[in-house]
């Protein structure tokens, strides 16, 4: 397949950068100005080129959209959760793209009280997002936050749930997060830096007072840290969290005394990571203290919180990553990861029981969900696998009995999980490390190298890519695709060391791991280079950018979603959102060692004259995490350098940010674009 429509050519307007004796020439730096009409014109030209070049797939996209939509239960609702006397429910109505938030007092049989109908709130907006819901202790007021651009800049407002009126107070340019003190009159909220969008300040607002009178209670001056504000599950403390990639610091305040000063829990020590959970008269601390790489659990009195007072509860283990804890009145629940798989451990405070929930598959994901009720013996968790739809389960920790509250419905009448094979296989990396791959395909697959295979990975920030179910993915599986997740280093899939071995000066392990996984699925004849496709977004888009530079011959096509590809320009500009907070992940390029290492793999800087695979690149004009100009510049440079007429598309959503479209059906349309790109390359007809 070749390009028949003339592609746009971005003008060259070179800008030269010099650092550490290295000269970088950026021909497309001018694209870094969303207010320049020429930039908007170029993006529109690229969109037009994409649309004209794929006009023949329009019916396929529409069919895929309808097919994926038809599997979704449109009049769906969440499993209700109980909090402070009310059951809270999120539900969707047929034909509507946004959720409705509601609650019922005391019983599920009670009359429904609609808190927010996002379908009405979204009217007239190309993008709409509701967030930051927080209910006052007396259940009469609720804070909420809205973003109508997609840049994650929210406006916080307060609704009176007795009268349904929106109070006049409007807190602009906030992160959206807020919590109530126990007096039902004070809220604490976070704001971000206007330029970098770094969450850096916590304010206190008193009901019915002018916003300009709000009190600044904490200002994070270290630009590598971000702040948050939350309330403990026990509801006794308001907590300000301040954290960077490697270091945490918390401040606590009695929620009954909002006008007193926050007290530092344990001051920051570089490399000391910890998080806190309150129970009784003590705090439980999940921490890497004393070189506990995979974390351990400690506790301390609420009156003596410095680390010298911390006592060990669950010791550090070399082969088990302790990811999180959930505290109940009678039980402690530990979320662990061993050999790349989730485990949920339940331990009674009186030490009469200590056991793991049993899971049978090797390609599953299990994690605790909404457990806001402290005084209960019921744990709520979710379970799914590549072939098993997501279930929400209530587990009685005393009787050890479980109740499946809801299993995701796959409508259409054709889905049967017995039609699919799930596997976990292991590829060997360049340095001999075994890299797990989770995969799924339809039964009867012939390993002859002719099967299309989509290989996905992320591989940064210690984010674990667990095997999860997707009803939309069936549109590929049922047309002969194999779907696989490469659990590359840079995530935390096999413990903390897995993350440490894929960041900073070991970042290249992420890229070479993915290439090793690609070679493995080819060698094992799951697929071949003519039918192998790669996909990644954001930092996973960086991964896509590197592999097409390093090993373009392995892939027939690549999907790069909001890709972080201009590493040097972004990381050298501390006015860009997220940059300074990223130094502990990628390195600080103002130091020569990191500058040279990052430059050696930065996708944009390493584009060369070669045969690049077919590529579909997507971005959002208002993206606050990966600026739109990164993929725009990258595509312009790829156009200048690619040596064949293989497809290269830049698709910019002019109304959205990092997360793409906001409505649930609009998101399916974006997915239909990606799937049609793959199916068209495979010449698979609908």
Q: How many CA atoms lie within 13 A of 550 on its CB side?
A: 21
CA distance 404 to 342: 19
Q: How many CA atoms lie within 13 A of 372 on its CB side?
A: 14
| Beta carbons within 8 Å of 58's beta carbon, 6+ residues apart | none
In 3-state terms, what secondary structure has residue 531? coil
Catalytic annotation, residues: 538, 623, 658
In 3-state terms, what secondary structure has residue 298? strand
* Residue 472: count of CB within 10 angstroms of its CB: 19
Answer for the pair 325, 279: CB distance below 8 angstroms, yes or no: no
CB neighbour class for 426 (10 Å; exposed up to 12, middle 13-18, buried from 19): middle
Query: 311-319: long-range contacts (C-beta < 8 A, 24 or more apart)?
Result: 313/284, 316/290, 316/292, 318/293, 318/294, 319/294, 319/495
Kind of pairing between the strands at 86-91 and 81-83: antiparallel
* Residue 369: count of CB within 10 angstroms of its CB: 14
| Beta carbons within 8 Å of 194's beta carbon, 6+ residues apart | 173
In order, the DSSP letters of 57-102 are GHHHHHHHHHHHHHTS-TT-BPPPEEETTEEEEEE--TT--S-EEE
C-alpha closest to that of 139 among 155, 154, 161: 161
CA 100 to centroid of chain Cα atoms: 23
- The residue whose two tokens read 């050298």 is 572
C-alpha closest to that of 184 among 252, 131, 255, 81: 255
CA distance 61 to 501: 40
CA distance 336 to 253: 30
**Rounded to whole angstroms, what are the CA distances from 304 to 112, 270, 299, 300, 332?**
45, 21, 10, 7, 22
Question: Sign (positive/negative) of CA torsion 175, 660, 475, 455?
Answer: negative
Kind of pairing between the strands at 420-428 and 434-442: antiparallel
CA distance 470 to 281: 43
Would you put residue 525 in left (φ > 0), alpha (ψ -120 to 50) or beta? left
Beta bridge pairs of residue 367: 382
| Beta carbons within 8 Å of 483's beta carbon, 6+ residues apart | 386, 439, 440, 441, 453, 454, 456, 473, 476, 477
Would you put residue 285 in left (φ > 0), alpha (ψ -120 to 50) or beta? beta
Answer for the pair 365, 467: CB distance below 8 angstroms, yes or no: yes
Q: Where are the beta strands (DSSP E) in 161-281?
A: 166-180, 186-192, 199-206, 215-219, 226-231, 237-243, 248-254, 263-266, 274-279
If you compute the radius of gyration of the chain from its CA atoms, what whole number of angstroms results? 25
Question: Sign (positive/negative) of CA torsion 492, 572, 546, 30?
Answer: positive
CA 294 to centroid of chain Cα atoms: 22
**Rounded to whole angstroms, what are the CA distances from 372 to 141, 342, 367, 467, 653?**
18, 21, 15, 26, 37
């Amino acid at each position: 397949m070749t390009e028949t429509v003339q592609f746009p050519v971005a003008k060259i307007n070179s800008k030269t950068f010099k650092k550490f004796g290295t000269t970088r020439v950026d021909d497309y730096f001018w694209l870094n100005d969303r207010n320049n009409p020429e930039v908007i014109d170029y993006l529109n030209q690229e969109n037009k080129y994409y649309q004209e070049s794929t006009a023949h797939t329009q019916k396929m996209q529409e069919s895929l959209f309808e097919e994926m939509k038809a599997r979704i239960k449109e009049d769906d609702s969440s499993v209700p959760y109980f909090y402070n006397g009310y059951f809270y429910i999120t539900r969707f109505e047929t034909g509507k793209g946004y959720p409705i938030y509601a609650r019922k007092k005391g019983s599920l049989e009670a009359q429904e009280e609609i808190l927010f109908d996002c379908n009405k709130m979204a009217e007239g907006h190309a993008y709409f997002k509701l967030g930051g819901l927080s209910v006052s202790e007396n259940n009469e007021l609720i804070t909420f936050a809205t973003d109508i651009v997609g840049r994650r800049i929210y406006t916080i407002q307060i609704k009176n749930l007795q009268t349904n009126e929106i109070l006049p107070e409007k807190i602009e340019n906030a992160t959206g997060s807020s919590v109530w003190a126990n007096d039902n009159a004070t809220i604490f909220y976070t704001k971000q830096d206007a330029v970098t969008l770094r969450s850096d300040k916590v304010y206190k607002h008193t009901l019915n007072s002018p916003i300009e009178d709000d009190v600044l209670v904490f200002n994070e001056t270290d630009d590598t840290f971000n702040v948050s504000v939350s309330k403990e599950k026990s509801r006794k403390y308001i907590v300000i969290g301040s954290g960077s990639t490697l270091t945490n610091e918390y401040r606590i305040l009695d929620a009954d005394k909002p006008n007193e000063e926050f007290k530092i829990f344990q001051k920051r020590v570089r490399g000391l990571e910890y998080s806190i959970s309150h129970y009784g008269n003590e705090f439980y601390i999940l921490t890497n203290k004393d070189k506990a790489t995979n974390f351990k659990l400690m506790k301390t009195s609420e009156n003596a919180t410095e680390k010298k007072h911390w006592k060990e509860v669950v010791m550090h283990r070399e082969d088990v990553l302790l990811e999180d804890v959930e505290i109940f009145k009678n039980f402690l629940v530990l979320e662990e990861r061993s050999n790349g798989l989730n485990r949920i451990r339940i331990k009674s405070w009186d030490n009469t029981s200590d056991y793991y929930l049993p899971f049978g598959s090797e390609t599953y994901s299990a994690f605790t969900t909404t457990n806001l009720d402290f005084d209960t013996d019921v744990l709520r968790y979710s379970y799914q696998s590549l072939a098993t739809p997501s279930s929400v389960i209530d587990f009685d920790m005393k009787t050890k009995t479980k109740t499946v509250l809801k299993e995701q419905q796959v409508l259409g009448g054709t889905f049967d999980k017995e039609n699919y094979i799930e596997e976990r296989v292991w590829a060997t990396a360049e340095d001999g490390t075994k890299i797990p791959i989770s995969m799924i395909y339809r039964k009867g697959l012939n390993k002859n190298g002719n099967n299309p295979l989509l290989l996905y990975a992320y591989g940064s920030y210690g984010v674990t890519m667990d095997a999860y179910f997707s009803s939309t993915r069936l549109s590929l599986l049922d047309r002969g695709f194999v779907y696989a997740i490469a659990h590359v280093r840079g995530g935390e899939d096999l413990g903390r060391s897995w993350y440490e071995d894929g960041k900073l000066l070991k970042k290249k392990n992420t890229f070479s791991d993915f290439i090793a996984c690609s070679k493995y699925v080819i060698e094992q004849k799951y697929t071949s280079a003519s039918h192998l496709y790669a996909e990644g977004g954001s930092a996973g888009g960086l991964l896509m950018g590197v592999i097409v530079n390093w090993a373009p011959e392995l892939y027939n096509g690549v999907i790069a979603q909001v890709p972080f590809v201009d590493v040097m320009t972004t990381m050298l500009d501390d006015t860009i959102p997220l940059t300074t907070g990223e130094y502990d992940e990628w390195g600080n390029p103002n130091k020569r060692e990191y500058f040279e290492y990052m430059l050696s793999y930065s996708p944009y800087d390493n584009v060369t004259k070669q045969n690049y695979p077919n590529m579909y690149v997507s971005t959002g004009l208002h993206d606050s995490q990966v600026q739109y100009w990164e993929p725009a510049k990258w595509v312009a440079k790829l156009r200048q350098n690619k040596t064949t007429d293989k497809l290269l598309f830049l698709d910019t959503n002019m109304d959205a940010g990092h997360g793409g479209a906001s409505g649930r059906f609009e998101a399916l349309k974006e997915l239909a674009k990606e799937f049609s790109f793959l199916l068209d390359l495979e010449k698979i007809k609908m």
